[in-house]
Amino acid sequence: MANPSSWTPHVEAFVDTSRPPSEHVASIEATTKLVNNDLLSLLDLVKEMEMYLTTSDHVIRSRGILFLAEVLARITSKPLDSVSVSCLAEFFTSRLSDWQALRGALVGCLALLRRKGSLGTIAISNARKLAQSFFMYVQVQSLTVNDRKLSFEVLHCLLEEYPDAVVVLGDELLYGICEAVDEEKDPDCLMLSFQLVEIVIRLFPDPSDLVTRFAGDIFEILSKYFPVYFTHGGGDELHATRDDLSRALMNAFCSTPNFEPFAIPLLLDKLSSSLQSAKLDSLKYLTNCLRCYGADRMLKHSKAIWLNLKDVIFSFPPQRPLVLTTESSQDTERVEHQIGKEALSCLQTAMLCLTSPDKDVFINLILEDEDVVKRFGFVLNEGYSVGTSVDIHGQLNALVKVLQTLATFPEHYSPISESVYHDILLMLISVVTCKYDDVYLWNLSLKTLGQIGSSIEDIHDSAKGTIYSRTVVERAISLLQVDDTALPLSLKLDVVSEIGAIALDPMSRVLKALEEAIVFHISKACVDGRTESAETAICLLECYSCKLLPRFCTLQDFDEVLVLFAIRLWEQMESLVASKNEIKVQGLLDSLMMTMKLLVASCSEEQQSLIVKRAYTIVSAVKCLPLQPFSPSSKLEELRISPGFSIHNWLVSLFASVVIALRPQTTLPDVDILLNMFIVFLLEGQLPAAQALASILNKWPSNGNISELSSVYTFDQAIDLVLEKCFTVLSSSSFLANFYSSNDSKINAIAGLAWVGKGLLMRGHEKVKEITMFFLKCLLSSQNSEIMQLNQKELDARSLLATSAADAFQLIMSDSDVCLSKQFHATTKPLYKQRFFSSLIPVLLSSVKEYATMNTNYRTVLYRAFGHLISNTPLAAVVAESHKIVPTLVDCLGILSLNTQNKDLIYSLLLVLSGILMDKNGKEHITENIHLVINLLAKLVLYPHMMLVRETALQCLVAMSGLPHSRIYPMRLQVLRAVTKALDDKKWAVRQEAVRCRQAWASIA
């Protein structure tokens, strides 16, 4: 046992108020350590401290009691026997009457009350005596903030840990809590106060006469704090926020239904407050009170609740049209938006809670309200101005939201009858079909119909589903079946898209109606030559393929529907072939092709085979098409087709669309014949034929199984056949003599080779090198000495061919959304772009260097090819070679900027340059060529043909301002002169970047 002389100095140090706080803490810690190590027992400490605990000197007494309490608070994990705990409890309880030593008494009581389980807790009788002494002697509101907080924590522990000890106090307990809480102002203390009210009421099960008698007094105290005003500054050390206080007060409000006569009138009154935070809190509290108080108590407030909610909903809609506002007003609008949303939430809760077995009182109040009838009736019957004010928009938004809320309840909980549900749907669909002039209301009503329909599908509500189908789905489908409605076609399609997307059954019905309309208008356009029908068919096809088909393909068992529609389109083409009409609407063919691709791509291999067989049967029946395989003796002049109707071109293009979208495993019939047909149409300028040819070669079975493709050729033979025919058209024997008489065929051949090269490159076939070398030959042939012997017409033709070859690199390297994509099941080898770039860039750089002294016009095609290559290569691969390409890239940008036709390519190359600037190693290579780069960018900040080029050039200059000071400082004045001119640019975005750039470079000193 420790000698008193070893720890008495600690007591003396703590009692001495002149000592610094750090010494006080050290004294407590040292003594606590002795107790924890069993070198000093707690009772021995109390005995030895008797003089400090009982002296008449209130300073020494209060410090001594506090010292003992602090030690006790630090040994909560040390077991104490019941005798020790009982003695300490009696001592600290008795000290509650000593107001001069109250702090220590509160700390000691709290330490004892917080002890857990087997460690030694105070007895029920001691806890009851403590509570009685507390209510008798402690005047909480006369204490300092810290002491008040301790007092509330003591009460909190008593109520939570020793409810049996305090519940028997009855009136004394409730009165004591009221007295302690009343007039509290500190946020942290208020948090505890509100929790005390909630806990103490929970101790008395409902119904309780005691709580009923005290309900008015307790609520009078609580009501003083509603709504919560939080005036403490951000620097105050508080744990409680306004939201925390408001939530705690709301829980206290909802703690007993006995508060209903007092709370509901208060909340409804505060709904009319000019303070928006009061409105928002009132709505939140009212929503929770509706749930907690029960229908029996709340039904009598139904009318008052509806009238107040109606005013709020009409005044603060949950959604408002976007309006350009200042930042301060945006905060206000955000709060108003929250008020509107909370009002609708409260309304929904009221509709659920305020029901009675015999009638729906609250729902009838809404449906019979004159304002609701008047406002919506005005929209439906008297017309609605397009220039509606924001307030009216907000009120309509609220009305539609109310209707949506009513209509989306599950059937078993629905507060409305089926007839009312039908009326709501009828009202909304009437707005959609008749009131399209008001875009805001129209969109709102359509979206609401979609959400109502989605809720039906989600809960499998068959009764509501039948009503919805009859009232909404059938009405929407009828819009596609008649042309005499005033509703514009684009809006009709929006309606069927929204309604069709809600579930499988509406989707199937809408698709069927859409298919009928498509076939009808295609027939009218092609047979009768009606341009308006062609335009309608284009819109219908776009809606089908872009809006409905993606959603439909996520559902089960969709293949059969798609196959039937694809085959029906082919049968329509078959009937058009028989009519022998000229078709001149190219846009319709483009839409048909894209729809056919998407249909076929979405099908399985088996379903695709059905479509291919039907399509090939129709195509092969056309006699004027080249449907014989090439023989080894086939000559160039045989690659011509006899003049025919435009429908034949349509057939081949549409069949090409089928081939493009096939999966690699799908079998193609008569591949050798198809190769012949597509080559012929490729040379005639039919781009879909080139794409189909590329798709066939790209998806050719890798195992070389010829039977899978019904072809007499191996894969390599098929490639050689295609290349031979294209190279023949471009052969050197006819290159000069016949060029300008067959220039179109040569350009078509280059385009075809580009697509074939793309397909081979994506699957990693070596033959792409042969195509690439041919394109390079075309580029370099425009630079050799023979050009001096050509006349101007020959020079122009040679230049056009070289430009086409340069642009072929863009086609090969860029991603396509019409062919050879993941969507259309292309075979793709990883990193194919990077490998192609790595193999070709040395050749291009060497050629650029070799022809550096040539005329600018001839160098341009080389730079176009170079630009297309690096702008379509993943940036990481380009950055890895930046030490080689930066000088050429700068020269390329300078040459290409001389021709306005290159503006898009210039922008793409600038993005590459900016990407190099963002890389650590790339910055080093830019720094090595700093003069070249800045000279170029200084010119491009004034590039007149594209705003994005000027903006990006300025952004690059800003990035370069962070390069090493010694390298950029000499260029400072040149940059500032160029940027000064850009400050007067007509585009705001450019001027903004110019300001940033000037600030960055002006700060370099």
Q: What is the pLDDT of residues 326-341, one digit of tens each?
A: 445 556 667 777 888 8
Specify burial of residue 506 (Cβ count, 10 A radius: 0-12, 13-18, 19+). buried
Question: Range with the lowest mean pLDDT among 183-197, 653-667, 669-683?
Answer: 669-683
Element (H, E) at 801: helix 792-813
Categorize the per-residue pLDDT at 401 as very low, low, confident or very high, splitting at 50, 70 and 90.
Answer: low
Find the DSSP H helices in 114-257: 124-137, 145-161, 163-166, 171-181, 187-202, 209-223, 242-253
Return the pLDDT at 231: 66
Is the per-residue pLDDT at 390 higher than 90?
Answer: no
Residue 450 clears pLDDT 60, i.e. is over it: yes
Average pLDDT of the residues in 46-57: 85
What is the pLDDT confidence band of residue 740, given thresholds at 50, 70 and 90? very low
Query: Higher-confidence residue: 530 or 391?
Result: 530
Proportion of the chain above pLDDT 90, given as a percent = 29
Q: What is the pLDDT of residue 935?
A: 92
The burial of 423, by beta-carbon neighbours within 10 Å (0-12 exposed, 13-18 middle, 19 or more buried), is given as middle
Dist CA 122 CA 109 (whole Å): 10
Tell me what the pLDDT averaged over the chain comes to: 82
| pLDDT of 768 over the 80 cut | yes
3-state secondary structure of 566: helix
Indicate the pLDDT class of residue 375, thresholds 50, 70 and 90.
Answer: low
Rounded average pLDDT over 467-478 = 85
CA dihedral (27, 33, 36, 42) positive or negative:
negative
Closest CA to 454 of 443, 470, 468, 475: 468
DSSP annotation of 630 reads: P
Contacts of 946 (CB under 8 A, 6+ apart): 903, 904, 906, 907
pLDDT of residue 747: 84
Assign 259 a pLDDT band (cuts: 50, 70, 90).
very high
Give the pLDDT score at 385: 44
The top-scoring range by mean pLDDT among 397-401, 724-728, 747-751, 914-918 is 914-918
Distance CA 552, CA 596 (A): 15
Lowest mean pLDDT among 3-17, 123-137, 472-486, 629-643: 629-643
> How much is the pLDDT for 867?
93
3-state secondary structure of 302: helix
Residue 959 has pLDDT above 50, yes or no: yes
Residue with tokens 């001839």: 858
Q: Give the Å distances, CA to CA, from 500 to 473, 491, 518, 546, 600.
A: 8, 14, 16, 13, 21
Condensed to tens digits (0 to 9), the pLDDT of residues 578-605 reads 666 666 666 788 899 999 999 999 888 8
| For residue 511, pLDDT beyond 60 | yes
Return the pLDDT at 553. 76
| Contact criterion met (CB below 8 Å) for 166 and 158 | yes
Phi-psi category of 825—alpha, beta or left, where left has phi over 0 and alpha has psi -120 to 50? left
pLDDT value of position 463: 76
Question: pLDDT at position 990, please?
Answer: 92
Residue-level pLDDT at 406: 65
Asked if residue 625 has pLDDT above 70, the reply is no
Candidate ranges 630-634, 683-687, 762-766; pick with highest mean pLDDT: 762-766
Residue 893 has pLDDT above 60, yes or no: yes
Average pLDDT over residues 559-580: 82
Proportion of the chain in helix, strand, coil states, percent, rounded to 5:
75, 0, 25
Best-predicted range by mean pLDDT (289-298, 428-437, 443-452): 289-298
- Is the pLDDT score of 692 beyond 90? yes
Minimum mean pLDDT range among 54-58, 434-438, 580-584, 727-731: 580-584
Taking each helix axis from N to C end, the angle separating 145-161 and 187-202, rounded to the nearest 10 degrees, works out to 20
pLDDT at 5: 66
Which range has the worst mean pLDDT, 158-162, 319-323, 811-815? Answer: 319-323
- In the chain, the amino acid numbered 201 is I
Among 239-248, 625-634, 878-887, the range scoring the smallest mean pLDDT is 625-634
Q: Which domains does the chain have, with CATH numbers?
A: 878-1005 (1.25.10.10)
Compute the C-alpha angle 354/339/356, nearest 5°.
5
pLDDT at 423 over 70: yes
Concatenate the DSSP letters of all residues of 449-498 into one string. Answer: HHHHHHHHHHHT-HHHHHHHIIIIIHHHHHHHH-S-SSS-HHHHHHHHHH
CA distances from 82 to 89, 311, 574, 644 (A): 10, 63, 101, 110
Q: Is the pLDDT of residue 766 over 50?
A: yes
What is the spatial distance between Cα 868 and Cα 840, in angstroms, rounded to a whole number? 12
Q: How confident is the model at residue 318 (pLDDT cuts 50, 70, 90)?
A: low
User: Does residue 788 register a pLDDT over 70?
Assistant: no
Interaxial angle between packed helices 124-137 and 102-113, expressed in degrees from 0 to 180 and rounded to the nearest 10? 150
Q: What is the mean pLDDT of residues 632-637?
A: 46
Mean pLDDT of 933-952: 92
Per residue, the 3-state secondary structure of 321-387, as one string, reads CCCCCCHHHHHHHHHHHHHHHHHHHHHHHHHHHCCCCCCCHHHHHHHCCHHHHHHHHHHHHCCCCCC
Q: Within 13 Å of residue 624, how many CA atoms lie on the same side as its CB?
A: 14
Please report, rounded to a whole number, the percentage of residues in the chain having pLDDT higher than 70: 81
Q: Sorting pLDDT into bands at 50, 70 and 90, what band is 409?
A: low
What digits encode the pLDDT tens for the residues 111-151?
Answer: 999 988 778 889 999 999 999 999 999 999 999 999 999 99
Does the pLDDT of residue 193 top 60, yes or no? yes
- Give the per-residue pLDDT at 3: 67
pLDDT in tens, 6-31: 678 888 888 888 888 888 889 888 88
Q: pTM of this prediction? A: 0.66
Contact 464, 419 (CB under 8 A): no
Contacts 24+ apart (CB under 8 A), 646-649: 646/582, 646/583, 646/584, 647/526, 647/573, 647/576, 647/577, 647/580, 647/581, 647/582, 647/583, 648/577, 648/622, 648/624, 649/681, 649/686
Checking if the pLDDT of 643 tops 60, the result is: no
pLDDT (0 to 100) of residue 690: 92
Tell me what pLDDT residue 55 has. Answer: 86
CA pair distance 754, 694, nearest whole angstrom:
9
86, 717, 10: which is closest to 709 by C-alpha?
A: 717
Q: Residue 744: what are its φ and ψ, rounded to 5°?
A: -60, -40
In the predicted model, is pLDDT for residue 252 greater than 90?
Answer: yes
Q: Confidence class of residue 263 from pLDDT cuts 50, 70 and 90? A: very high
pLDDT of residue 349: 84
Least confident of 274-283, 400-409, 876-885: 400-409
Report residue 339 as tokens.
């008020």
Would the pLDDT of 323 be above 50?
no
pLDDT the model gives residue 330: 58
Hunting for tokens 């040395």 — which residue is that?
842
Q: Note the pLDDT of residue 152.
A: 94
Average pLDDT, integer, range 363-386:
58
Query: What is the pLDDT averaged over residues 403-415?
Result: 64
- Residue 324: which pLDDT band, with cuts at 50, 70 and 90? very low
CB 548 within 8 A of CB 501: yes
**Statement: residue 858 has pLDDT above 50:** yes
